[in-house]
Structure 1
Amino acid sequence: DVRGVDGAFTLHNMDAAAAIDAYVAEPDAYDPERADVSAVDRERVDRNASMPAPETAAVVGGGYVGVEVAEALSERGLDVHVFHRSGHLLSPFGETVGNRVEEALEAEGVAVHTDAPVEALVGDDRIEAIEVAGEGDGASTDRVPVDMAVVGVGIRPNTDLLDGTGVDLGTGDAIRVDDRGRTSLPDVYAAGDCATARHAVTGEPDWVPLGLTANRAGRAIGATVAGDPTPVGDIAGTAAVKAFDAEAARVGILDREKAEEAGFDPVSETVTAGSRSGYYPGAAETDVTLVADRDTGRLLGGSIVGTDRAAIRIDTLATAIEADMTVPEIERLDLAYAPPFSPVWDPILVAAKVLNGTLED
């Protein structure tokens, strides 16, 4: 057994340990026990999609999971509606990415409803419709007939079992840890979807529950408790998602308000450039957005979207953020050129050149 602080809890096996991670947020308006309404759980979604005669599915939430579930259900032959409360899908990726992904979904027959907060799931024994708030004060609600719903409106750290232990919580009610994964309690460490980590751009604790973050922090803590103090590493929110042929990725801080709250004066530019030499088969338009601090020229964040190996290019920007590179330094990078892989001027170099010009104005 692994004992908790003052006997607060006991972990009898790895399944119990794995439960201290994060779980899907389920708004009060939805009943997660209904057979035809799923919070994001692969087995339940698969089972519900196989129920007798499901024809039309609602996906509530247009984030990572909502976009990928919409594609999966569409591929199974269902008519799919995606409902997202903000103005564009994939809010953390920025408007350019959200609009391109929306176009990709709609090109495959998925109906996308933005600025569409869901008020209720309507029906008795089975869901019959999605009720969406109308625009403006006093506006009537709209109903869209569906016979299956998947709700994916975010997650939060599953730290409820720590109530009463005195452990300090941080951003998003995740467990606050230092650079070694130590909590506020003696000899207690935390890592993964339940814990904060230092953001590479701001230097402040943040909560970004992603796979590499959990794996790296877990290894580091294992080394630390075995006598080899190892930092858990910074996070930059590097993430990727696909929707049919479109693929997108993001890193760092893209939101102007968040950048300003962190003390930066953000400047951004978006460019469209070819993924390969224009004459080479398979070349496609790639949109790159870069955000930098006006005073220092330091790269704060970036996003990429396209149909030809666009997402993997984000790793160049993730490396630049980890190294505190400026936009002029990125513009001078010696990136590989060969017609099958990239044009002479890689889309990232084009974006850096344009943004550098803006910074110099």
Structure 2
Amino acid sequence: MARDPFVVIGGDAAGLSAASKFRRESDRDVVVFERGRWISYAHCGEPYFVKGTVERLTDLLSLSPEDAADRGIDLRRSHEVVSVSPGERTVTVEADGDRFDQSYAELLVATGASATTGPFDTTLDGVFTIHGLDAAAAADAYLTPSDEYDRDRLGDGPVDESRVDHNAALDPPERAAIVGGGYVGVEMAEALVARGVDVHLFQRSTHLLPPFGEAVGERAADHLGDQGVTVHTGTPVAELVGGDRIEAVRYDGERLPVGMAVIGVGVTPNTAPLSGTDAALGPGGAVRTDAYGRTTLPAVYAAGDVATARHAVTGAEAWVPLGLTANRAGRAVGSTVAGDPTPVGGVAGTAVVKAFDVECGRVGLTDAEAAENAGFDPVSETITAGSRSGYYPGGDETTVTLVADRSTGRVLGGAIAGRDRAAIRIDTLATAIEAELTVAELERLDLAYAPPFSPVWDPVLVAAKVLGGRVDG
């Protein structure tokens, strides 16, 4: 008797990574249900499509439906899983107005996350969350005069043409408000300036890019200001004002007329298919998983932006929705279900973002309060050092914040900003954290040196030297 298939909910990073790996290692069937039409695309590339750096929307696709079929994956788009019955090992699926049950031997929930909108009315014309290819296509159309819009920009994917046409028919904005100074906010500020828009960026907290720390956030803000962006830190937006179309934003008793608003205030995990089950949830409302991606339900796994993972510094469960961790976890679950148990790996929150010419990177625990809550006695130093030998052209000041535990000397986290290959240096700190190196061990790393690439003492090593005098380990 044939065994029931491996069923995957979600056709993006984690889901299709799992399905692809499973099919390479098993001859069993795998069925992937995707509620939308787009699959396997680069969320992080959407601001660069809006900017114009990416020429076509479909350039952001990693895998086509035809590619999935060639891999032996039974991909069913426009199929939404509305519920899971762990006892019966079935999922209930809606498609084309019909509803049916699909049995499974194992189930992977890889439904990702959705943009949160806070208290803001996102139904107004000119208000966007840049989360999904249809949203990026609509924003691009909105920014383009109707007589100049080039439909070739869309490529040949399953775009929501009515949404694009509606936005292309509207007059483009002269001024925009971006609500939220995180990844999306900073990247969209760059994109909108490139499109000739006067940009005001609003951040509720006292500095941009909160997970990167104050030094990096301030450097990013200064550079955004140099590029013409008006940065409002410590300034929450109270309301979007408009009838059918955005007209203004209200903040601190002020009213700023705008013709566009981008909402980038975070994401929330898509756990709806598990509603009504006993699946345990963890930080951020994400699905709780173990080292192999298993949930608290029998034969049910979760991976990607919908799932928790073990934090590499604290050892506790954490929710850190990022692209590499989704792909890696999905691949691991695919191997496990195929018969080769594979850990999904920990997360350190390693991330990079570009603010015009300034590159920013972060990893681990950069916030003192978070480190203290995890049981550490954090101590940190921020230094500025050259990115290349002083006599070699093309260098730039690189800002490094390094955080360690005072008693043990263990490296807990760090952040970097600069214009000359600063972001890639964060990988050194990510490796140090995974290896649980102390500051002294980090300082002794034999990092490469040549004048075009680094000074004799790389900025990371300089930070370790300075911090080393403040730790006991």
TM-score, with structure 2 as normaliser = 0.72
| Deviations, residues 312-332 of structure 1 (Å, cap 9, x unaligned) | 000000000000000000000
Task: Measure, in 2, the Cα distance between the counterparts of 1:75 and 1:264.
Answer: 43
Aligned-partner residue type, residue 164 of structure 1: G
- RMSD between aligned residues: 1.7
Question: Could you give the per-residue CA deviations for residues 281-329 of structure 1, whole angstroms, max 9, x where no partner exists?
Answer: 1011000000000110000000000000000000000000000000000
Are 1:173 and 2:298 an aligned pair? Answer: no
Residue 325 of structure 1 is aligned with which of 427, 437, 456?
437
Partner amino acid, structure 1, of 2:364:
G
Residue 49 of structure 1 corresponds to 143
Equivalent residue for 1:228? 340
Partner letter of residue 27 of structure 1?
A: G
Change (3 A) 1:19 1:187: closer
Corresponding residue for 1:113? 232
Which residue, out of 113, 116, 119, partners 1:25? 116
Contact 1:129 1:144 survives alignment (8 Å): yes
Instruction: Single out whichever of 42-51 and 91-100 deviates more from structure 2.
Output: 42-51
1:9 matched to which residue of 2? 92
State the TM-score, normalized to the length of structure 1: 0.94
Residue from 294, 305, 311 that aligns with 1:193: 305
Out of 257, 263, 267, which is 2:375 matched to? Answer: 263
Find the counterpart in structure 1 of residue 208 from structure 2.
89
Aligned 1:66-145 pairs, distance under 5 A: 66-132=185-251, 134=252, 141-145=253-257
State the Cα distance separating 1:45 from its structure 2 match.
2.1
1:340-359 aligned at under 5 Å gives the runs 340-359=452-471
Runs of 4+ displaced beyond 3 Å: 1-4, 6-13
Q: 1:45–1:150: 8 Å Cα contact kept in structure 2?
A: no
Residue-by-residue CA offset, 1:32-89 (whole Å, 9 max, x unaligned): 2222111223223223223414100111100001000110000010000001101000
State the secondary structure of the residue aligned to 1:359: coil
Secondary structure, aligned partner of 1:318: helix
1:148-163 mapped onto 2 (5 Å cutoff): 148-163=260-275
CA distance in 1, matches of 2:212, 2:187: 15
Unaligned runs of 5+ in 2: 9-83, 96-101, 103-107, 145-169
CA contact under 8 A between 1:8 and 1:162: conserved in structure 2?
no
Q: Distance in 1 between matches of 2:446 and 2:274?
A: 49
**Aligned counterpart for 1:39 among listed residues 120, 129, 137:** 129
Contact conserved, 2:126 with 2:261, CA < 8 A, in 1?
Answer: yes
Do the aligned partners of 1:8 and 1:165 also contact (CA within 8 Å) in 2? no
Please give the secondary structure, in 2, of the residue aligned with 1:58: strand
Residue identity over aligned pairs, in percent, reads: 63
- Helix, strand or coil: the match of 2:302? coil
More displaced 10-residue stretch of structure 1: 44-53 or 330-339: 44-53
SS of the equivalent of 2:301 reads: coil
Q: What's the secondary structure of 1:200's corresponding residue?
A: coil
Deviation at 1:145, TM superposition (A): 1.4
Deviations 1:211-258 (A, max 9, x none): 110111111111101111110001100000001110100000011111
- Which blocks of at least 5 consecutive residues in structure 1 are unaligned? 135-140
Confirm or deny that 1:304 pairs with 2:398. Answer: no
Distance 2:217 2:114 in 1: 24
CA distance in 2, matches of 1:245, 1:217: 32
Quick check: 1:273–1:347 contact (8 Å CA) kept in 2? yes
Aligned residue pairs total 350
What is the CA–CA distance in structure 2 between the aligned matches of 1:293 and 1:130, rounded to whole Å?
43
Residue number in structure 2 paired with 1:61: 180
Distance in 1 (alpha carbons) for counterparts of 2:91 and 2:391? 65
Please give the alpha-carbon distance, in whole angstroms, between the structure 2 residues aligned to 1:130 and 1:64.
21
CA contact (8 A) 1:238 1:252 kept: yes
Describe the SS at the equivalent of 1:129. strand
Corresponding residue of 1:206:
318
Q: Which residue of 2 aligns with 1:289?
A: 401
Q: Is the 2:407–2:472 Cα contact (8 Å) retained in structure 1?
A: no
Map of 1:137 onto structure 2: none
Distance in structure 1 (CA, Å) of the matches to 2:142 and 2:238: 22
Instruction: Give the distance between the partners of 1:45 and 1:104, measured in 2 at CA.
Output: 25
- State the secondary structure of the residue aligned to 1:177: coil
Is 1:274 the counterpart of 2:368 in the alignment?
Answer: no
Shift of 1:124: 1.5
User: Secondary structure at the residue paired with 1:156?
Assistant: strand
